[in-house]
């Protein structure tokens, strides 16, 4: 952890890990600052994990706590799984940022404040009666004050920008300070700025670079910080890496799947936070033949996806919980007509409009059961930002092979968070088999509801195919012919066939991996986006000598076929979820296991420490290896 | 998809478009007539548009009319209430070479599916919409619909409906539909002609078909379907022809000085004062005024209100794709994955 020695002028400190959080007004360029520093860190060879957090309002009133935007980066010489619980360094651009974030700064941590942001009005807006810099509030931190706005304007004076435009560069000045603190030069970030403004404005490029260098020089010459710290680099296997957010990874996974399956990708959607970035990514790819379209509403998006699937395209719709609620009837239609559609739910806090920009895992039961009738679908959940690539491809593979809707449950945390991704070679990606009809010249009558004996999928015969004209729809189908049927026994048989088709997919998905010993005292079972926090907590617990293992479910329906055996091998099961216990209900019902819950619904991801504490409680044994 | 390649399509008979399913509408339902007329003109439509039967798709929502696809020996999709245009959107954008029809009713298209209808029309998706208007909910056994007249007594409105009815064609015109027409189930010739013109139209074509529900709303359109009265009560719209009607063609629809329509005897005005119907008018107040004419004060206009040439939605989508491909050679998948914020870790 980052510790500032009391002794001034001490030599550089070497660290294995550091957590920094940038916080300021939503107009302060906080997200861009964080993104650049993250890219720089990754390129220097650290493992990284990021957590952006921003308000639901596009521009909440300036200077208020509601308007504070933040970006946290964890960078390390070891493999890390989360953006970290508490920052070692907090950069606060105004009093509201201090107010909103100071309580999460590690005691003894470093606070960098923009002194120019602390006028009377700003203090008042943040709800401070007294200046926290003066009244002892910040005594337990190393506080470094710099007149960032003034110095920024001064540093770009030569360019004769309008004062407001000059002041916009203050995030770069701050970044310069931070670069010096972490003992890295500004070359890489200058190159990023160059790329960013290459097409736009030479003068803005120059201004941003000047502010950046000025910040760096200020830190160096004024000895603002007592010393520099250097985080060691991580060992990574050679190859090309990319910093990737979950939403970008999802978009890339869809494009890859369409190419591998040789199908047209049709992404039909309606804008909704936090899923819209998938649309934005795909909309850029017209030149690759990707069709990403915005419909009049969520229902139309789902209907269009069903229509596109009927036409033979790889059809995908993306949304968040409220959108899924609207799509439910059309998802049922896709179940009844057995058409392949991928439904991406980037989960956010609910119910209703809920917390649009905050994360939650509370749509699991909606994905499982949120439709009328017996209506099973496949449910998958990526466990990290980069895993969204793999699981988006997997969702497409299963949908097309088994002729079924597939839910992909991402969440706001992994969708917006990012991590390094070792870019795969396309020729090493898994090949796809879609459910092409078996052509049979001898068959006198085409049977749209005949089934592949292995997968139970019906044939994907699309309009335009001569001789196989047929009718499908939402009314119950007669087995084989697909004619409308109200026969009681036929209905029961069809319900069971649809159920068996989904259940049978357990044979086609990987078994659940256990991290740690495969049997023992405690299993921590998670699903989806909590993968990083659970893994980090279990690693720490294991290091303390606790008998604990973890497993992260990425397949929720059907479950991996070894799940029963995995659960059986442990005395106790703990299921941490960002909901009130939805996976726990499923596991208890299906496996009769008395699983314990750790449930959090604050719109925020788990802290590693929260899970660790629960593990320690359950293990009820003194930790042996306190360092 | 390749439009330059000539399709060698077979010569079809009416029977080729009848599926093996027996229609299950009530005896005497207007839907039988519509099905028969459609099947009768399909061979000519296939030939004129060079569309083989396997490229034809009928998509419907929910309601009596929406059983239609089951009886057509083409591809068919009986979807969910009000959403047929959304399925047509996905299908038609993904497969622009198909000829997609939407069969819908007044409840399906104007009530639960009103939003989709409006957007389908304003996009000019290349889809033929047959809207069977019987001014009642038939499948749910007789509740008032969005086109039921004010005061209509039904099971769900025993004291009379208190909502004013919607006018489907006024909505279609306001939604910038490029082909707008009206036909009547009991006028086979008109029905055949209008359906054929709709099929030949490139873009969204909506045809409101007055359809008699002899069980729950019998005689709703008697004024336009009874032989003895229909010539006096309908105004047959013909492009380039004057707005003249009546068995003796002795009455005309004209606009007064406040641009309000009124009916006059042709003997009272000079020939040059007659209004000439023009289906190529865009945003025309006159066309809208025609859609608003209501019996008994006015004759009911039937035939084609508007027929405009305009690019279709799917054409624009694929044009963008092709243009993007032209300007920027297709990125290989590997190149796409390798882009963005990247760095290399050396051996």
Q: What is the DSSP string of A555-590?
A: EEESPPTTHHHHHHTEEEEEEEESSSSHHHHHHHHH
pLDDT tens readout for residues A448-505: 999 999 999 999 999 999 999 999 999 999 999 999 999 999 999 999 999 999 999 9
Q: What is the DSSP letter of A79?
A: -
Q: Do B54 and A242 touch (CB under 8 A)?
A: no
- Neighbouring-strand partners of residue B127: B100
Q: Do A464 and B53 touch (CB under 8 A)?
A: no
Chain A residues lying within 8 Å of B343, measured CB to CB: 39, 42-43, 240-241
Whether CATH 3.40.640.10 fits A520-619: no
Q: What is the pLDDT of residue A432?
A: 82
Q: What strands lie across the sheet with A405-411, from one edge to the other?
A: A291-294, A265-269, A314-319, A341-347, A405-411, A378-380, A555-557
* B276 CB within 8 Å of a chain A CB: no
- The token pair at B3 is 């439009």
Q: Has the ipTM of the complex gone over 0.90?
A: yes
State how far residue A22 is from chain B, nearest Cα, in angstroms. Answer: 20
Number of Cβ within a 10 Å radius of residue A194: 13
User: What residue ranges do the domains of chain B occupy?
Assistant: 14-220+311-325
Q: What is the DSSP letter of B4?
A: T
pLDDT tens readout for residues B114-124: 999 999 999 99
> A247, A318 in Cβ contact below 8 A?
no
Tell me the C-alpha distance between A194 and A190, whole Å: 6
pLDDT tens readout for residues A166-196: 999 999 999 999 999 999 999 999 999 999 8
Q: What is the DSSP string of B300-319?
A: EEEEEEEE-----HHHHHHH
Tell me the C-alpha distance between B138 and A174, whole Å: 70
State how far residue B311 is from chain A, nearest Cα, in angstroms. Answer: 18
B160: CB partners within 8 A, 6+ apart: B150, B151, B152, B153
Q: What is the pLDDT of residue A9?
A: 45
CATH numeric code, A13-231: 3.40.920.10
Q: What is the pLDDT of residue A223?
A: 82
Question: Which of A41, A281, A303 has the most B C-beta neighbours within 10 Å, making it the best mutation to test the interface with B?
Answer: A303
CA gyration radius for chain B?
23
Burial letters A422-440, b for 16+ CB under 10 A, else e? ebeebeebeebebbebeee
* A399 CB within 8 Å of a chain B CB: no
Tell me the C-alpha distance between A362 and A346, whole Å: 11
User: What residue ranges do the domains of chain A occupy?
Assistant: 13-231, 243-428, 520-619
* Fold exhibited by the domain A243-428: Rossmann fold (3.40.50)
Judged by DSSP in three states, B73 sits in coil
Tell me the C-alpha distance between A361 and A605, whole Å: 10
SS (H, E, C) A20-66: EEEEEECCCCHHHHHHHHHHHHHHCCCEEEEEEECCCCCCCCCCCHH
Question: Mean pLDDT, 10 residues at a time, over chain A (627 residues)?
Answer: 47 87 92 95 94 82 92 95 96 96 95 95 95 93 94 94 91 96 96 89 93 95 87 90 96 97 97 97 95 97 98 98 98 98 98 96 98 98 98 98 98 95 94 68 76 95 95 97 96 98 98 97 98 97 97 98 98 98 98 97 96 95 43
CA distances from A449 to A501, B75, B80 (A): 13, 15, 19
Q: What is the DSSP letter of B215?
A: T
Q: Do A256 and B70 touch (CB under 8 A)?
A: no
Which residue does chain A place closest to B69, by CA atoms?
A471
* A266 CB within 8 Å of a chain B CB: yes
Tell me the C-alpha distance between B300 and B237, whole Å: 10
**Chain A from 157 to 176: CB within 8 A of any B CB:** none
Q: Is A520-619 the same fold as A243-428?
A: yes
Q: What is the pLDDT of residue A99?
A: 96
State how far residue A162 is from chain B, nearest Cα, in angstroms. Answer: 31
B296: pLDDT strictly greater than 50: yes
- Bridge-based pairing of strands A68-76 and A17-25 is antiparallel
Tell me the C-alpha distance between B209 and B31, whole Å: 10
Burial letters A562-571, b for 16+ CB under 10 A, else e? bbeebbeebe
Tell me the C-alpha distance between A277 and A415, whole Å: 9
Tell me the C-alpha distance between B65 and A546, whole Å: 67
> B302, B237 in Cβ contact below 8 A?
yes
Tell me the C-alpha distance between B108 and B211, whole Å: 14
Chain B residues lying within 8 Å of A305, measured CB to CB: 90
> A584, A550 in Cβ contact below 8 A?
no
pLDDT tens readout for residues B70-121: 999 999 999 999 999 999 999 999 999 999 999 999 999 999 999 999 999 9
Is the bond preceding A274 in cis, omega lying within 30 degrees of 0? yes
Q: What is the pLDDT of residue A243?
A: 92
* A303 CB within 8 Å of a chain B CB: yes
- The token pair at B22 is 């027996």
- Bridge-based pairing of strands A555-557 and A378-380 is antiparallel
Query: CA quadruple A179, A183, A188, A190: dihedral positive or negative?
Result: positive
Tell me the C-alpha distance between A543 and A513, whole Å: 20
- Of A279, A401, A406, A384, give the one whose Cα is nearest residue A334: A406
Domain B14-220+311-325's class? alpha beta
Comparing A54-63, B176-185, B194-203, the range with the smallest average pLDDT is: A54-63
- The token pair at B170 is 């006024």
Q: What is the pLDDT of residue A305?
A: 98
A-B Cβ pairs (cutoff 8 Å, strict): 213
Chain A residues lying within 8 Å of B78, measured CB to CB: 471-475
Q: Do B90 and A266 touch (CB under 8 A)?
A: yes
- The token pair at A565 is 């055996």
Tell me the C-alpha distance between A290 and B267, whole Å: 63
Nearest to A310 among B56, B74, B77 (CB): B77
Q: Could you give the angle at which helices A187-197 and A30-43 cross, rounded to 10 degrees?
A: 130
* A40 CB within 8 Å of a chain B CB: no
Judged by DSSP in three states, A431 sits in coil
Q: What is the DSSP string of A433-457?
A: --------SS-SS--TB---TTT-P
Alpha-helical runs (H) found in A272-386: 276-283, 298-310, 321-336, 364-369
Tell me the C-alpha distance between B304 and B69, whole Å: 25
Read off the pLDDT of each residue in B123-131 and give the average, rounded to a whole number: 98
Q: What is the pLDDT of residue A443?
A: 57
- Neighbouring-strand partners of residue A92: A23, A113
* B281 CB within 8 Å of a chain A CB: no
Chain B residues lying within 8 Å of A396, measured CB to CB: none
- Of A202, A192, A119, give the one whose Cα is nearest residue A161: A202
Chain A residues lying within 8 Å of B330, measured CB to CB: 287-289
- The token pair at A168 is 């916009």
Nearest to B341 among A243, A301, A465 (CB): A243
B61: CB partners within 8 A, 6+ apart: B79, B80, B81, B82, B83, B84, B104, B105, B108, B109, B112, B113
Chain B residues lying within 8 Å of A473, measured CB to CB: 60, 69-70, 76-79
CA distances from A362 to A59, A246, A359, A594 (A): 28, 18, 9, 21
- Of A345, A302, A296, A355, give the one whose Cα is nearest residue A321: A345
Query: CA quadruple A427, A433, A439, A440: dihedral positive or negative?
Result: positive
């Amino acid at each position: 952890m980052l510790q500032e020695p009391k002794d001034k002028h001490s030599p550089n400190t070497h660290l294995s890990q550091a957590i920094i959080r940038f916080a300021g007004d939503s107009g302060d360029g906080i997200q861009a600052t964080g993104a650049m520093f993250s890219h720089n860190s990754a390129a220097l060879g650290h493992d990284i994990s990021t957590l952006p957090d921003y308000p639901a309002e596009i521009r909440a009133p300036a200077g208020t706590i509601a308007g504070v935007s933040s970006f946290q980066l964890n960078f390390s010489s070891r493999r890390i799984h989360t953006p970290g619980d508490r920052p070692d360094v907090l950069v606060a651009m105004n009093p509201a940022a201090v107010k909103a974030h100071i309580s999460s700064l590690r005691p003894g941590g470093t606070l960098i404040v923009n002194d120019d942001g602390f006028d009377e009005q700003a203090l008042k807006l943040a709800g401070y009666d007294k200046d926290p810099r003066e009244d002892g509030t910040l005594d337990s931190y190393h506080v470094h004050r710099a007149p960032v706005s003034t110095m920024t304007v001064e540093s770009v004076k030569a360019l004769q920008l309008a004062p407001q435009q000059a002041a916009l560069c203050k995030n770069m000045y701050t970044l310069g300070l931070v670069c010096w603190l972490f003992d890295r030069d500004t070359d890489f970030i200058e190159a990023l700025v160059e790329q960013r403004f290459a097409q736009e404005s030479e003068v803005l490029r120059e201004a941003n670079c000047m502010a950046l260098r000025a910040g760096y020089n200020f830190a160096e010459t004024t000895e603002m910080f007592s010393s520099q710290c250097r985080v060691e680099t991580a060992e990574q296997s050679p190859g090309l890496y990319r910093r990737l957010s979950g939403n970008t990874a999802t978009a890339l996974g869809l494009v890859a799947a369409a190419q591998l399956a040789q199908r047209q990708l049709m992404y039909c959607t309606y804008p909704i936070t936090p899923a819209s970035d998938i649309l934005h990514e795909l909309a850029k790819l017209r030149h690759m033949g990707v069709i990403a379209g915005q419909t009049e509403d969520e229902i139309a998006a789902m209907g269009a996806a069903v229509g596109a699937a009927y036409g033979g395209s790889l059809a995908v719709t993306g949304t968040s919980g409220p959108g899924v609620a609207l799509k439910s009837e059309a998802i049922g239609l896709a179940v009844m007509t057995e058409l392949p559609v991928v439904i991406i739910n980037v989960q956010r806090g609910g119910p209703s409009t809920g917390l649009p920009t905050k994360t939650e895992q509370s749509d699991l039961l909606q994905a499982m059961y949120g439709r009328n009738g017996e209506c099973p679908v496949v449910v998958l959940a990526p466990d990290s930002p980069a895993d969204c690539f793999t699981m988006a491809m997997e969702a497409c593979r299963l949908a097309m092979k088994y002729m079924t809707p597939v839910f992909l449950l991402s969440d706001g945390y992994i969708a917006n968070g990012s991590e390094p991704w070792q870019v795969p070679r396309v020729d090493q990606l898994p090949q796809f088999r879609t459910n092409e009809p078996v052509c049979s010249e001898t068959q006198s009558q085409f049977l749209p509801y005949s089934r592949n004996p292995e997968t139970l999928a019906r044939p994907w015969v699309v309009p335009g195919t001569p001789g196989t004209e047929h009718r499908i729809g939402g009314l119950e189908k007669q087995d084989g012919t697909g004619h409308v049927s109200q026969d009681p026994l036929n209905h029961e048989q069809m319900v069971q066939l649809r159920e068996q088709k989904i259940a049978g997919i357990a044979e086609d998905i990987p078994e659940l991996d256990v991290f740690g010993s495969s049997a023992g005292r405690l299993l921590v079972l998670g699903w989806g986006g909590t993968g990083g926090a659970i893994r980090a907590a279990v690693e720490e617990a294991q290091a303390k000598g606790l008998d604990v293992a973890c497993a992260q479910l990425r397949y929720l329906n059907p479950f991996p076929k070894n799940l029963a055996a995995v659960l059986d091998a442990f005395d106790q099961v703990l299921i941490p979820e960002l909901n009130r216990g939805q996976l726990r209900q499923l596991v208890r019902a299906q496996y009769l296991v008395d699983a314990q819950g750790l449930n959090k619904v604050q719109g925020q991801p788990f802290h590693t420490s929260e899970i660790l504490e629960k593990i320690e409680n359950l293990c009820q044994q003194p930790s042996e290896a306190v360092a | 998809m390749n439009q330059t390649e000539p399709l060698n399509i077979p010569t079809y008979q009416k029977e080729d478009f009848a599926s093996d399913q027996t229609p299950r509408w009530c005896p005497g339902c207007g839907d039988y007539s519509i099905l028969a007329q459609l099947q009768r003109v399909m061979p000519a439509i296939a030939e004129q548009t060079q569309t083989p039967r396997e490229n034809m798709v009928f998509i419907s929502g929910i309601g009596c009319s929406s059983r239609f696809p089951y009886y057509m020996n083409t591809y068919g999709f009986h979807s969910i209430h009000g959403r047929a245009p959304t399925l047509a959107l996905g299908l038609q954008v993904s497969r622009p070479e198909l000829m997609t029809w939407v069969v819908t009713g007044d409840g399906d298209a104007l009530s639960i599916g009103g939003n989709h209808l409006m957007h389908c029309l304003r996009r000019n998706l290349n889809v033929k919409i047959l809207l069977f208007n019987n001014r009642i909910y038939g499948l749910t056994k007789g509740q008032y619909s969005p086109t039921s007249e004010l005061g209509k007594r039904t099971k769900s409105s025993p004291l009379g409906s208190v909502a004013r009815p919607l006018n489907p064609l006024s909505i279609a015109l306001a939604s910038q539909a490029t082909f707008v027409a009206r036909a009547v189930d009991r006028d086979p010739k008109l029905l055949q002609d209008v359906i054929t013109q709709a099929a030949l139209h490139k873009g969204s074509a909506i045809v409101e078909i007055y359809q008699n529900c002899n069980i729950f709303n019998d005689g709703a359109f008697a004024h336009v379907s009874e032989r003895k009265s229909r010539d006096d009560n309908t105004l047959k719209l013909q492009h380039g022809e004057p707005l003249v009607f009546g068995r003796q063609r002795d009455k005309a629809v004209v606009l007064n000085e406040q641009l309000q329509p009124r009916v006059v005897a042709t003997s009272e005005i000079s020939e040059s004062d007659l209004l000439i119907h023009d289906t190529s008018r865009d945003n025309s107040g006159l066309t809208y005024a025609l859609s608003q004419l209501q019996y008994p004060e006015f004759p009911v206009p039937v035939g084609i209100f508007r027929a405009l040439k305009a690019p279709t939605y799917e054409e624009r989508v694929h044009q963008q794709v092709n243009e993007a491909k032209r300007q920027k050679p297709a990125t290989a998948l590997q190149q796409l994955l390798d882009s963005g914020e990247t760095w290399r870790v050396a051996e």
